[in-house]
């Protein structure tokens, strides 16, 4: 048998039961790899359930820094009886299968192309611990200890990490250290030469941090000065507001009184959550909410009001698999169209498309400036993979000299100087008008904000001409927004190249890896990462200069492709979908295979005329 022999380049997959305490053990493993300086990408594949159903945790170790999901598993730790057979079959040929041998494998488990590593986890745990809860929890730590030996990590980095984790609770550290040692020693004594995968300390990680997107977005909101958050819990966005509240509680309390310089309101539903955020934004506080697809559906009516009445508000949409309840704990990029045009009538919303937690931080902070400046909703389009999984990314940075851009707000003194003011007068010809805040002036600047048609002085009107003027001005503002949103990132690998790739958000790491893979096989593609909607002019130019452009995304209907075709007035056949919508993060293999297949099937010359259906491509 040819064992897989690799250093710092493999995938370990843990198969557990949800609610068994495995997450922290598996996370400990990823953290140790990170601390050894080796790029690592952990992903939680979990059910929409509290306890009992199968859950997986996949850790990709890759010294090249590819941190997208690779697909396949070289080493599987199988401690869930429900999925034992499935996990066994899933090991890549030459790979490794570690299982709890307290119960032997059935005779029907017959593969001679993998290495089976039997460790009696339950037995070892029961022998070492008398407390029932510890017996449950430490089983997970024991297999982490075994990995420390089998992957050549060594005992010390593991023990060190455990002690750091429980620095404030030494009583909890002791059983964890004991369990690590039990696993390590058992593997050393019984499987001394079984595994050819190894981890060696590396410099590759550098100053990068390991953080999830939701925490980073929460910090972005904190640093941007958000003070009002209205929210309703929904997976996978819940931890955004929970983290915001945690950080705000730490950093935003008045020293003398302990009083809060923020208000987090858990609303009765998403309708109220966005209403609270809009009320706060209207009254001059930086306000936001976080939600997911079903919440976006409920918030749509209010988003239309905020767009039409021109109220700044920020939404963080952590997308999951739809439609309807879909797969609540699986990832997708399928809210794109729903958010871009959320609400009835002619509505357009500014979208920001972060690709990693660092951008979740910066783009969330920028979203508040944009919302204030443009006086409109701005939606940060994260997703479950980005939001709830840890990602290796650049450290978070804040320029202390940065000042919040509160946009065109007239204060009392400004109003004193003005003879005549109209809420919706386009003085600067950029589509953005001057607003006032309640209580600002005893006589001037008051108006009624409304979702009904209004003239330049905010008075209700059904006069067609006034309505049309207002709607056209909003389009003018949209053009201003186009100049303010982040530029796309362009990489030209072949000046004469006729084929391009467009991607965005959490599809980024896998797409970058796929582009490298394709180049290694002789296919050089120019690429562009889109960071915002409205699309910058550079996006139109990129599409124009190529005969065909692959659009990589994670939804069934190729929503970005639809958006590009409509907004850029491109013949849809020129844009070729590369999609994944199985609820798991897209992999480099999927992208490479789809592009390869298309190129082989059509030939590069005919790409411009064909757009194979998604079914044929998945």
Partner 1 sequence: MSYTRPGFRHPESQKNRLGLTRKAYEGSISTLCAGCGHDSIVSAIITTVFEMSIEPHRIVKLSGIGCSSKTPAYFLNRAHGFNSVHGRMPSVATGANMANRDLIYLGVSGDGDTASIGMGQFAHVVRRNLNMIYICMNNGCYGLTKGQDSATADKGSQTRKGDPVALESIDLCEMAIQLGAGFVARGFSGDKKQLVPMLKAAIAHKGLAFVDVISPCVTFNNAPTSTKSYSWVREHMEVTNTFDFIPLRQEITTEYDHGTTIPVILHDGSIINLCKREDKEVITSRKEAINALEQAKGNRQILTGILYVNPASNDFHDINNTVKTPLNELGEADLCPGNTALQAFNESLR
Binding site residues, partner 1, CB under 8 A: 35, 209-211, 219, 222-223, 225, 227-228, 230, 251-252, 254, 257-263, 265, 267-269, 271-285, 287, 301-302, 305, 395-400, 402-404, 436-443, 446-452, 460
For 122, 134, 329, 459, the CA distances from 141, given in Å and listed in that order, are 11, 10, 25, 67
CB of residue 81 to partner 1, shortest distance in Å: 35
CB of residue 190 to partner 1, shortest distance in Å: 34
CB of residue 228 to partner 1, shortest distance in Å: 5
Closer CB to partner 1, residue 301 or residue 567? 301
| Orientation of helix 121-128 relative to helix 132-150, angle to 10° | 120
CB of residue 443 to partner 1, shortest distance in Å: 6
The β-bridge relationship of strands 263-266 and 115-119 is unpaired
Beta bridge partners of 392: 210
User: Torsion angle, CA of 282/288/294/300, rounded to 10 degrees?
Assistant: 20
Residue labelled with tokens 């809210």: 335
Quick check: 552 and 525 in contact, CB under 8 A?
no
User: How far is Cα 109 from Cα 114, in angstroms, rounded to an integer?
Assistant: 11
CB of residue 456 to partner 1, shortest distance in Å: 17
Closer CB to partner 1, residue 35 or residue 493? 35
CB of residue 146 to partner 1, shortest distance in Å: 26
Residue labelled with tokens 């009886």: 81
CB of residue 156 to partner 1, shortest distance in Å: 17
User: How far is Cα 414 from Cα 416, in angstroms, rounded to an integer?
Assistant: 5
CB of residue 361 to partner 1, shortest distance in Å: 9
Closer CB to partner 1, residue 154 or residue 225? 225
CB of residue 68 to partner 1, shortest distance in Å: 21
Say which residues have a Cβ less than 8 Å from residue 434's Cβ, sequence separation at least 6.
Answer: 408, 409, 410, 421, 423, 425, 427
Over its C-alpha atoms, the chain yields an Rg (Å, rounded) of 27
DSSP 562-607: HHHHHHTT--GGGEEEEE--SSSPPBHHHHHHHHHHHHHHH-GGGG
Beta bridge partners of 496: none
Closer CB to partner 1, residue 281 or residue 328? 281
Peptide linkage before 534 cis (omega within 30 of 0): yes
Closer CB to partner 1, residue 449 or residue 582? 449
Closer CB to partner 1, residue 397 or residue 615? 397
CB of residue 359 to partner 1, shortest distance in Å: 15
Closer CB to partner 1, residue 197 or residue 222? 222
Quick check: 260 and 253 in contact, CB under 8 A?
yes
Beta strand ranges found along 157-296 (DSSP E): 197-198, 209-212, 226-231, 263-266, 286-291
Closer CB to partner 1, residue 64 or residue 402? 402
Closer CB to partner 1, residue 279 or residue 326? 279
CB of residue 362 to partner 1, shortest distance in Å: 12
- For 533, the enclosing helix (H) or strand (E) is strand 532-533
The closest of 367, 376, 355, 353 to 223, measured between CA atoms, is 367
Closer CB to partner 1, residue 262 or residue 504? 262
The closest of 199, 194, 218 to 31, measured between CA atoms, is 199
Closer CB to partner 1, residue 287 or residue 319? 287
Quick check: 200 and 10 in contact, CB under 8 A?
no
CB of residue 215 to partner 1, shortest distance in Å: 9
Closer CB to partner 1, residue 281 or residue 500? 281
For 387, 413, 489, the CA distances from 241, given in Å and listed in that order, are 12, 36, 30
């Amino acid at each position: 048998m040819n064992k897989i022999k690799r250093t710092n380049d493999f995938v370990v997959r843990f198969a557990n039961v949800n609610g068994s305490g495995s997450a922290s053990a598996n996370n400990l493993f990823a953290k140790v790899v990170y601390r050894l300086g080796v790029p690592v990408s952990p992903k939680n594949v979990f059910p929409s359930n509290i306890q009992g159903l199968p859950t997986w945790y996949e850790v990709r170790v890759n010294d090249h820094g590819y941190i997208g999901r690779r697909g396949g598993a070289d080493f599987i730790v199988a401690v869930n009886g429900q999925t034992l057979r499935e996990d066994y079959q899933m090991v890549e040929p030459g790979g490794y299968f570690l299982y709890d041998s307290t119960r032997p494998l059935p005779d029907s488990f017959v593969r001679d192309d993998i290495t089976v590593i039997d460790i009696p986890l339950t037995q070892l745990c029961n022998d070492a611990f008398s407390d029932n809860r510890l017996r449950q929890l430490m089983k997970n730590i024991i297999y982490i200890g075994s990995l420390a030996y089998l992957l050549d990590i060594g005992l010390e980095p593991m023990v060190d990490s455990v002690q750091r984790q429980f620095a404030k609770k030494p009583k909890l550290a002791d059983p964890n250290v004991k369990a690590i040692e039990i696993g390590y020693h058992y593997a050393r004594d019984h499987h001394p030469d079984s595994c050819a995968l190894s981890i060696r300390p590396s410099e590759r990680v550098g100053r990068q941090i390991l953080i999830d997107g939701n925490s980073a977005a929460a910090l972005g909101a904190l640093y941007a000065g958000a003070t009002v958050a209205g929210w309703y819990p929904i997976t996978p966005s819940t931890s955004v507001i929970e983290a915001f509240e945690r950080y705000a509680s730490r950093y935003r309390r008045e020293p003398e009184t302990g009083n809060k310089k923020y208000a987090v309101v858990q609303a009765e539903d998403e309708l109220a959550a966005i209403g609270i955020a809009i009320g706060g934004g209207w009254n001059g506080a930086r306000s936001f909410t976080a939600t997911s697809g079903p919440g976006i559906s409920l918030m749509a009516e209010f988003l239309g009001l905020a767009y039409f009445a021109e109220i700044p508000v920020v939404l963080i949409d952590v997308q999951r698999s739809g439609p309807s309840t879909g797969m609540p704990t699986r990832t997708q990029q399928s809210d794109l169209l729903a958010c871009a045009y959320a609400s009835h009538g002619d509505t357009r919303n500014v979208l920001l498309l972060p690709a990693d937690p660092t951008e979740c931080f910066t783009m969330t902070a920028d979203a508040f400036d944009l919302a204030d400046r443009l006086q409109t909703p701005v939606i940060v389009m994260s997703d479950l993979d980005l939001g709830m999984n840890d990602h290796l990314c650049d450290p978070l940075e804040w320029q202390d000299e940065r000042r919040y851009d509160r946009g065109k707000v007239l204060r009392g003194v400004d109003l004193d100087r003005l003879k005549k003011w109209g809420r919706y007068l386009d003085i600067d010809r950029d589509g953005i008008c001057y607003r006032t805040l309640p209580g600002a002036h005893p006589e001037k600047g008051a108006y009624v904000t409304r979702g009904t048609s209004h003239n330049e002085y905010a008075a209700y009107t059904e006069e067609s001409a006034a309505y049309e003027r207002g709607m056209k001005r909003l389009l003018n503002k949209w053009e201003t927004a186009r100049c303010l949103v982040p530029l796309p990132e362009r990489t030209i690998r072949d000046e004469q190249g006729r084929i391009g790739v467009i991607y965005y958000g959490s599809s980024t790491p896998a797409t970058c890896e796929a582009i490298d893979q394709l180049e290694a096989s002789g296919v050089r593609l120019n690429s562009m990462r889109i960071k915002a909607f409205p699309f910058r002019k550079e996006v139109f130019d990129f599409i124009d200069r190529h005969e065909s452009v692959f659009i990589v995304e994670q939804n069934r209907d190729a929503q970005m492709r639809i958006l590009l075709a409509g907004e850029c007035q491109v013949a849809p056949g020129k844009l070729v979908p590369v999609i994944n919508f199985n609820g798991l993060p897209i992999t480099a293999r999927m992208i490479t295979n789809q592009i390869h297949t298309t190129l082989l099937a059509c030939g590069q010359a005919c790409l411009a005329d064909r757009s194979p259906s998604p079914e044929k491509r998945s």
